[in-house]
A and B are shown apart, each in its own frame.
Chain A
Amino acid sequence: MGKVVVVTSGKGGVGKTTSSAALGAALAQNGEKVVVVDFDVGLRNLDLVMGAERRVVYDLVNVIQGEAKLSQALIRDKRLETLYLLPASQTRDKDNLTPEGVEKVIAALQNAFDWVICDSPAGIERGATLAMRHADIAIVVTNPEVSSVRDSDRIIGLLDSKTLKAENGERMEKHLLLTRYDPVRAERGDMLKVDDVLEILSIPLMGIIPESADVLRASNVGSPVTLADNRSAPALAYFEAARRLKGEALPITIPGEKRSFLGKIFGRKAA
């Protein structure tokens, strides 16, 4: 049985899709069989980030409504043998997702893959609650800004109440992925610091992805950042996050620490 992971957030634009693709690719590069499912019906984007937009024939809604078989809708990545994508529909709306249909699809994917990564839409509405419902593990993606943190807090509340695990009285495993972190701006006080975010959300940190042009560049060429340039800072951070997702206990490095050391040297030179 594969593990079902939901990548979720309260606020939009924090990097859920980028993170889903990057983590999926990172896991697949280690030989694990991974499928990334786009739950953002109506606003599909994951296929773009994964460079498969021209290969979408059938989508999640087709499968749920019985118009296509799951095997027809799954798109295999051209670069990685073990990475698959289940795209979302752009033309339908999220009401086409039925709880029974989602349950069936997730169960089928769980039998065929090691990891089922669900890229959730933002917010607390139906699409988001359906995406998180069957998850074993949740990754809460947050930017270091107050509105994002507050909305994530709300989502964590939903993860603890509206999921199957919660209804069965179990605790959902939750991880925090802090994206678009800029240590210089955090130091200046323009952004929340890592400790502040952790203090407010109080769930374990899975990784800090530094703000970087590499992420945008990778998205624009249709490649998960961990595939596009696997030596870049964000790619390294995602590789580490993927290892933590698999249960490895790695120490977390906060990007600022290294930079502030360099900053000290530069500061001394300038003086």
Chain B
Amino acid sequence: MNDVLTESRPIRLKGRSFLALALTPELPLEDWLTRLDDLASRSAGFFLRRPVVLDVDGLEIDRSQLRDLVDQLGKRNVRIMGIEGARQSLLGADLPPAMNDGRPAADYEAKMAEQAEKAEPLEVAAETVLTAEPAAAKATPSMVVTQPVRSGQSLFFPEGDVTIIGSVASGAEVVAGGSIHIYGALRGRAMAGTTGNASARIFCRKLEAELIAIDGFYKTADDMEQNLRGKAVQIWLDGEALKAGTLG
């Protein structure tokens, strides 16, 4: 006898696009993990609760090495949601699923604009009231926030520049695809150029930051020049080094 389907309501499946961080390991893996530990120790909790994709494209490793790498990352509280660029033979039920069609974030914006009709708008961090205005027509979208970014809030704007008229509290973070301009004190974290924009800068009226980053290069409070504390400062990337200088 066949089961009769009494409930005819369909299950909703919807497409949704998210921005994830992609980790690109390098060989030898031991050295890379040491460097990762070093980074993690300086920016505690950075990887917690973030979607992370492991990009193994062009990496010459076998299946057991890959599984070991995922385990190693798991021990460091980095939860891998998917693996990109791996051959079919490398993956299995015990490993995160394959991800493909990932786009470098620089292309992200244009892609979003094309799909605006079909796709859900980009998810902004849940608890924040500061929503990104979708600026479809503008060439360089930017976001202006006229209130302070409070402790515990996370402001995420991968499309472009963020201007904050007010302060960024200790325990708050601002992540922008472009530059970050803060007309107040920067006490929390600011990460500019996160979508691979090395020319992004961070400007603030008063530098008291816990962490600053441009295009993935970090500096924490301890690494910053102490004479810049409390000053109006701009921070830019020179090659692989973060440079900072006073303003005005």
- Segment with Cβ contacts to B, from A87-95, A151-159, A209-217: A151-159
CA distance A166 to B167 in the complex (A): 20
Instruction: Mark contacts of A191-206 with chain B using CB atoms, 8 A cut-off: 1 yes-contact digit, 0 otherwise.
Output: 0000000011010000
**Does A98 touch B at the CB level, under 8 Å?**
no
| Interface pair A154/B167, CB less than 8 Å apart | no
Answer whether residue A150 sits at the interface, using C-beta atoms and an 8 A cutoff. yes
Task: Choose one: B147, B151, B170; the contact of A160 (CB below 8 Å).
Answer: B147
Contacting pair B148 A166 (CB below 8 A): no
Contacts of B187 in A (CB 8 A): 200
Count: A-B pairs, CB below 8 Å: 41
1/0 per residue, CB under 8 A from A, across B155-167: the answer is 0000000000011
Tell me the A142-164 residues at the B interface (CB within 8 Å): 150-151, 153-154, 156-158, 160-162
Q: Which residue of B lies closest to A161 (CB)?
A: B129
Nearest chain A residue, comparing its CB with the CB of B206 = A199
Q: Does B128 contact A (CB under 8 A)?
A: yes
Residues of A within 8 A of B148 (CB): 202
- Do the beta carbons of A153 and B169 come within 8 Å of each other? yes
A218, B161: Cα distance in complex, Å: 53
Across-interface contacts of B127 in A (CB, < 8 A): 157-158, 161-162
Interface residues of A in 100-153 (CB under 8 A from B): 124, 150-151, 153
Which A residues form the contact surface with B (CB < 8 A)? 124, 150-151, 153-154, 156-158, 160-162, 166, 199-200, 202
State whether A202 touches B166 (Cβ < 8 A).
yes
Q: Is B180 an interface residue (CB 8 A)?
A: no
Q: Give the chain A neighbours of B234 by CB distance below 8 A.
A: none
The residue of chain B having its C-beta at the shortest distance from the C-beta of A152 within the complex is: B151
B contact residues around A156 at 8 Å (CB)? 150
By secondary structure, the B interface counts as: loop
Contacts of A166 in B (CB 8 A): 129
Check A157 against B167 for contact (C-beta < 8 Å): no
Most buried by A among B128, B148, B166: B148
Chain B interface size range = 10 to 19
* Distance between A126 CB and nearest chain B CB, rounded to angstroms: 15
In the complex, what residues of A have CB within 8 A of residue B151's CB? Answer: 150-151, 153-154, 157
Alpha-carbon distance between A258 and B127 when the two chains are bound, in angstroms: 43
16 pairs, CB–CB < 8 Å, chain A vs chain B:
A124-B152, A150-B151, A150-B170, A151-B151, A153-B152, A153-B169, A153-B171, A154-B150, A154-B152, A156-B150, A157-B129, A157-B153, A160-B147, A199-B167, A199-B185, A202-B167
Partner of B169, one of A150, A158, A161: A150
Chain A: minimal CB distance from B113 (Å): 26
CB distance from A115 to the nearest CB of B (A): 27
Are B171 and A200 neighbours in the complex by a CB distance under 8 Å? Answer: no
Contact with A along B58-96 (1 / 0, CB 8 A): 000000000000000000000000000000000000000
Chain A residues closer than 8 Å to B153, beta-carbon distance = 157
Residues on the A chain within 8 Å of B166, using CB = 202
Cα–Cα distance between A161 and B148 once the two chains are bound (Å) = 13
Decide: A161 near B128, CB < 8 A? Known: A150-B151, A154-B171.
yes
Please indicate the chain B residues that have their CB under 8 angstroms from the CB of A151 in the complex. Answer: 151
Do B129 and A200 touch across chains, with their CB atoms under 8 A apart? no
A160 to B187, CA, bound (A): 20
* A11–B50 alpha-carbon span in the complex (Å): 27
CA distance in complex: A160, B167 (Å): 15
Contact B150 A160 (CB under 8 A): yes
Closest to B127 in A: A161
Q: Roughly how many angstroms separate A202 CA and B171 CA in the complex, as a whole number?
A: 16
Cβ distance B173 to chain A, nearest Cβ, rounded Å: 12
The CA of A200 and the CA of B151, in the complex, are separated in Å by: 10
* Residue from the set A153, A166, A199, A202 with the largest chain B CB neighbour count within 10 Å: A153
Q: Taking each of B150, B170, B187, which has the highest tally of chain A beta carbons within 10 Å of its own beta carbon? A: B150
A150 contacts which chain B residues (CB < 8 A)? 151, 169-171
